[in-house]
Amino acid sequence: MPVTAHAYRCLYDEYPKHPEAAVMVTVLQAYQFALDPTPRKRGSLASHAGAALFAYNWGLELVTIRLEQRRAGQDVQVPWTLAELRREWNRAKHDVAPWWAENSKEAYNSGLDALARALKNWSDSRNGLRKGRPIGFPRRKKKRRARVACRFTTGAVRVLPDRKHVQLPRIGVVKTHESTRKLARRLEQGTARILAATITRRADRWYVSFTVEVQRTISTSNGRAGVVGVDVGVRHLAVLSTGQTIPNPRPLERSQRKLRRLNRQLARRKPSSRRRSRTRRRLARVHARAANLRRDGLHTLTTSLATQHGTVVVEQLNVAGMVRNRRLARAIADTGMGELRRLLGYKTGWYGCRLVVADRFFPSSKTCSGCGWVKAKLTLAERTFCCETCGLVMDRDLNAARNLAKLVELIVAAGSGPEALNARGADRKSQRAGQVAVKREAGTEHHSGQTGTVQPQG
């Protein structure tokens, strides 16, 4: 089978290319902890999240009015950036929100920053500066449907030495449900610095996520020489070229019975009643459990792949197009294919593993892993691959995984190995000549509109 530049794309971290070399790099990493707040602290957390929502809706209403005045011919300034929105808020906060002093200033800044990013994304989408589907104009957030969150970038954001409490601006000290030792150890050693903290509420439980600048020692090789191909699917979470099959936990599918029962109860409850709120919280907990089970399975799989193999080969799947199939949309979303690819993107760099991403149009399922014969058409109903040339009969997913594992050998045999292995790919097809575009690691880019960072710890 001929191998061209369109058949592969390699993602390698830009570290020294010596087998024994190790380098100290600075990465952005998130640490999330569940909280156990008292009733008073719970009210304070909800007040800050509500303040961020209020500031977002107020700023959106102001921008909408200014745009209508400009269309009418009036010479008015439309606040578009975070600095302009904050300037307008400081002028009007005494009239529109006399209670503004009850919450930290970061709560209002969080809502205005979300609005500024939404306006920028909309304008970039209209001008063709943003990839993907077109983005509509920002809409007003509703209290019952909007994400309950607030972000703190300045002030007293700390992890206390007892490893059981955290401190947040204006909210004070809040007890954590779990130990914070993983982050506290790095802060005590001086290898981490907290940049921001975000509080969120999911399924009636509060969480705090710390955005931390961490110094990690990363080697260019984990000492493993094996190459493994990973074929993700719906029947199985992943099928490896070694013959190992990772079962799919299917958390959402297994929760359907509870979800149907709770949805029927919710439909019978009287609106704005206490029982309706109780049923809604129970329904949210079932969804949160399904999401946690899915996340745990993906983290377990990606960590084992990055630590036990020297090279991991996966496919670049068009998940957004696959979920348009109404018969398979829920099953595909339940597997988390896109999340698996994202997790491998940074874990392979952390553990010294190499990641090779096959192109979206690489025929891994239609190609015979024995002789290289390519089948013209292969439907989803055909679960067994039968080669008409060599007579190979093999499971469809295992055949695709072995073709992905052989892709590295085919690239090296084609004479494009060293140049391709040193290139970092962008999410597009590779060109026939030259190096593909360089893409930054997730979480290392500079965020515009950032107001500052909290004081360093450790």
Active centre residues (catalytic): 231, 315, 397
Beta-carbon contacts of 201 under 8 Å, excluding residues fewer than 6 positions away, are: 45, 46, 49, 148, 149, 207
In 31-173, where does DSSP find H-type helix? 39-71, 82-96, 105-126
User: How far is Cα 235 from Cα 309, in angstroms, rounded to an integer?
Assistant: 24
DSSP string, 164-175: SEEEETTTEEEE
User: How many Cα atoms occupy the beta-carbon half-sphere of 257 within 13 Å?
Assistant: 1
> CA–CA separation, 418 vs 435, rounded Å?
12
Hey, what amino acid is at 171? I
Locate the DSSP E strands across 291-434: 311-315, 354-358, 384-386, 393-395
Rounded Cα distance between 33 and 176, Å, is 7
Where does residue 373 rank: exposed (0-12), middle (13-18), buried (19+ CB within 10 A)? Answer: middle
CA dist list (Å): 56 to 62, 85, 263, 388, 413: 10, 10, 31, 62, 56
Is the distance from CB of 352 to CB of 373 less than 8 angstroms?
Answer: no
CA dist 250 and 234 (Å) reads 9
